[in-house]
Amino acid sequence: MGIPAFDIIGDVAIVEIEGGENEKGIAKLIVKNHPHIKTVLRKMGGREGKYRVRKFKKILGKETETEHKEHGCRFRMDVAKVYFSPREATERQRIAEQVKRGESVMVMFAGIGSFPVIVAKKNPKVGQIYGIEINPHAFKYMVENVRINKVGHKVMPVLGDVKKVAKDYSGLCDRVVMPLPKEGYRYLPEAFQCLKKKGTIHFYYYEHERDLFTKALETVRKTSEKMNKRVKIINKRKVLPYGPRVWKICIDFEVCDSK
Ligand SMILES: C[S@@+](CC[C@H](N)C(=O)[O-])C[C@H]1O[C@@H](n2cnc3c(N)ncnc32)[C@H](O)[C@@H]1O
């Protein structure tokens, strides 16, 4: 029996199993190859709702709270209550590498604090980092992860809806990260608002590979016109596969006043 694709988050394995396969047998094989695994969960559908969490079936073990290590940082979470994807580790590192000394950074949709903590750890000379998250479970873990990674002097976790609370950070930031590909475009005006006179936005979106960037670029352009700003696209690229021929993409762009 082969093992289907699975992710490991701390000591939890999350596996995607087709209909009739022997799930107990698959779980035992995973644990045999990765003896530190204590819980094996089966994905039961896609990510849902505002919090972007998914339903699981427990195949082996009970505990869904775990601690995951990434880029020398520790992340505690309950995988059944929050969004976290270990597949995005390279993307987090890529963003952290672009942050410059003294910059203030807004991370919208911050989840358990993975982007804010990694940016702070990688850039000891960074300015203030804000992380806004609406899921109270994820927010609780963000507070804990900021504490255990000793970046409390750099990262300020904020509980709330970006639509409502981002205005409190108007004009304060050099960089905004928007890791919500599904409907993140609705919050582009808030991202523009958070920036100082100029700054950089990392905008994520999902798109079919037949035309990956046109719609996302058009959305950026229309928002910049409404906000009376100029934009310069600095990068556009595929991040990760999302579904059959559908990709998560990222547009990195600079914003400045139109005059
Ligand atoms: C795709 S996840 C990304 C989480 C995290 N940045 C990461 O990379 O692991 C999106 C997150 O945005 C949060 N979210 C969704 N809508 C929101 C809103 N309007 N305001 C604040 N957070 C929101 C969800 O609860 C979820 O944790």
57 three-class SS: strand
HSE toward the beta carbon, residue 89, CA cutoff 13 A: 13
6-63 homologous superfamily:
Met-10+ protein-like domains (3.30.300.110)
Confirm or reject CATH 3.40.50.150 for domain 86-257, answering yes or no. yes
Domain-by-domain residue ranges, the chain? 6-63, 86-257
Q: What is the pLDDT of residue 230?
A: 97
Q: What is the pLDDT of residue 244?
A: 92
Q: What is the pLDDT of residue 19?
A: 78
Block means of pLDDT (10 residues each) for the chain, length 259 residues? 90 90 93 97 94 96 98 97 98 98 98 98 98 98 98 98 98 98 96 98 97 98 96 97 95 90
Q: Report the nearest-CA residue for atom 4 of ligand 1.
A: 111
Place of tokens 């995005």: 88
Q: What is the pLDDT of residue 258?
A: 79
Best of 140, 158, 180 for a ligand 1 pocket test (most atoms within 8 Å of beta carbon)? 180
Burial class of 172 by CB neighbour count within 10 A (0 to 12, 13 to 18, 19+): middle
On whether the CB atoms of residues 65 and 96 are closer than 8 A, the answer is: no
Strand pairing of 39-43 and 56-60? antiparallel
On whether the CB atoms of residues 109 and 142 are closer than 8 A, the answer is: no
Could you identify the atom of ligand 1 that is nearest to the CA of residue 107? 6
Q: Give the predicted TM-score (pTM) of the model.
A: 0.97
CB atoms within 10 A of CB 66: 18
